[in-house]
Chains A and B, each alone.
Chain A
């Protein structure tokens, strides 16, 4: 049902998205059969394609060229994909979106080479765009993403984290790439500087909300809905926003400690998830997500009324309500 909702959100831009999807497949047609299979395996596992759609919609505010938009969108989605392949190595994850991860289907080494290959294809795609500012922005974003992941490992299994630590981490992990998706879409279409700034901030706030909802869903969804074990963030030693709200509860703390030690039994995992779901942590985290969404909507409120603006608003609303 939700997947149908997201498809309907994209309906007006389906033709261009289909074109980008084809370009994505084309871009990973590797001469190496294993890399080709691994890349297509990941590509066909799907995803919301929120980065490409943000590029498309932001580019609508300038002189839209599908060719340029496609190069940027392909690049951003490939960067996202490459980071997922490497993240699965780091987290030792066997399942993603209900399918085996590249590292589980092949092994870590193949996942490393596949991720690096996909990353190189991302740069090749955006390398067709001769706008230095676009490259400088993307390079900066990529380094910030890495920096965020390095900090995440550094803070792994660290119970005494703050709200600010969490917000900084999700900014780098998710919000910056969504912000850059909007900014790059607007940049390559030559939109006004002020429009570029507003769209960039929209992407940033929407991205913050998107990640908070993702972190909530990691707790409230079933294993089947997630395509991986619910509570994976905790099992991997990552403190997310709902956990920040509940971590000092004396009933919850022992679960947290055991999750971080890797000694949590399956039954305890279920008990822990039930406990969080029945606490007010989820609601409190949702309130923060809604605040970010409102900021995102405020940013674009002054932009010209056009179908792309409506679509951005609908996507922002979807982000807040999604349950997968």
Chain B
């Protein structure tokens, strides 16, 4: 598969996801849904790598995408004042996207995955709440929490649909990308709420360094993935790997 094709698959997926969650009032007043391309890449990684990808698998991947955009919507709600029409509709957009994920899985039907994903969604909200109110005790807790929040729904999908060998790579890379984003935000003094911890920057850098080593090893050992995709994963994390840590 060529690089252009990879982008094409990702763009098509984003188009399908936006279509699945389309609601005229939300579209008019809230605007286009932002979709995290890195998450889409790892969600579609088995497909990009030539694995068997059925219609059901694809529908379930759209459901996972809907869960993530629901999370993203609710993460933008102001902690004190959500009375503007935009904020009110953003609350409802998250609920709506969440409902779409359930509708897709109910239509398949994949009730097992409904249960699996619901368990994970519950855990992620618990983690977000704990993180929001209390700083993590140590770097290990920080790492585990970010990994769970960023990657667990995607990992559930990969496990459930028979792509478990992709889980460690996806999980590690997504955690790394989240840290990269946090560092950028910290540099701009604009930490997103979910990473609004009070740990010192050097703790985060230690985690990055460890993730970097882990990811490099994983990519080197991932001989089931095409060289182009290995290269893409390196490229996605290059801003980190290229940095002096």
Contact = CB atoms under 8 A, between A and B. Distances in A.
- A and B are partners in one complex rather than unrelated chains: yes
Contacts of B129: 32, 34-35, 110, 113-114, 117
Contact of A108 (B82, B125, B127): B82
B106 interface: yes
A112 interface: yes
Interface in B76-96: 77-83, 85, 88-89, 91-96
A113 B98 CA distance: 13
A298 B119 CA distance: 42
Interface in B100-143: 100, 102-103, 105-107, 109, 111, 114-115, 118-119, 121-123, 125-130, 132-133
Contacts of A147: 23, 96
A92 to B, nearest CB: 5
B89 A124 contact: no
A146 B95 contact: yes
A contact face: mostly helix, strand, loop, or mixed: helix
Contacts of A86: 91-92, 95
A156 interface: yes
Contacts of A92: 81-83
Contacts of B74: 112-113, 116
A153 B106 contact: no
Contacts of A135: 102, 105-106, 109, 111, 114
B231 interface: no
Interface residues of A, number: 46
B88 A127 contact: no
B96 A108 contact: no
Nearest to B100: A143
Contacts of A153: 25, 85, 88-89, 92
A315 to B, nearest CB: 28
B83 A132 contact: no
A149 interface: yes
Contacts of B92: 86, 90, 146, 149-150, 153
A89 B126 contact: no
B125 A143 contact: no
Contacts of A145: 99
Given A116-B94, A119-B95, A150-B96, 13 more contacts: A35-B125, A90-B92, A108-B78, A108-B81, A110-B133, A114-B125, A120-B121, A120-B122, A121-B122, A132-B106, A138-B102, A142-B103, A153-B88
